[in-house]
Amino acid sequence: MSILLIRSRRAGRKAVLFISAMAAMAACSAALAASSIEPPQAEQVMATTASGVQVYSCEYDADHHLAWVFKSPLATLYDTSGQAVIKHAAGPSWQAEDGSRIVGHVIAQAPSNTPASIAQLLLETHSTGGSGTLSSIRFVQRINTVGGLMPASACTAEHQAGSSPYLTNYVFYK
């Protein structure tokens, strides 16, 4: 964002401060909009509850220190009657019992409302196969996250695997 400040003798310092304040408010509004996890112009198709783990791997960072790195989710999603309907895995991907499958990428995130939990997300998707439940899905929202942060135990060996249980709701939109 670029701002043109025009200063006249009459405008003085108050105008400059006003324009600066307006620019700061615009920047804050843009930041808030960017962190919204509400899907744009979408219709909810299905809401699920997920139970699973976030999988991590112990890897060297740029400073050659071992640290946990997120690898993939591994979860089962249940409909409102408690029936397992979707498997969630790396990609991130979701595969329904009918064979339809989507892959998503994160377009927005927000902190969890639960302390020490993974972020809430909005993901944009594309269909990767099969026709069915997930074929028309454009967005997936991960909300109400509980858990899932990197393991509390020390990361001590390269490629060591670790996982952390998590619960969440995934909402699917077309």
pLDDT at 18 over 80: no
Cα 56–chain centre separation: 17
* Spatial CA neighbour of 107 closest among 51, 173, 53: 173
pLDDT for the residue 171: 98
Query: 30 to each of 22, 26, 64, 149, how far by Cα in Å?
Result: 12, 6, 36, 28
Residue 158 has a pLDDT of: 97
Give pLDDT, residue 72. Answer: 97
Q: 124 is written with which tokens?
A: 């944009």
- pLDDT of 1 > 60? The answer is no
Q: What is the mean pLDDT of residues 59-74?
A: 96
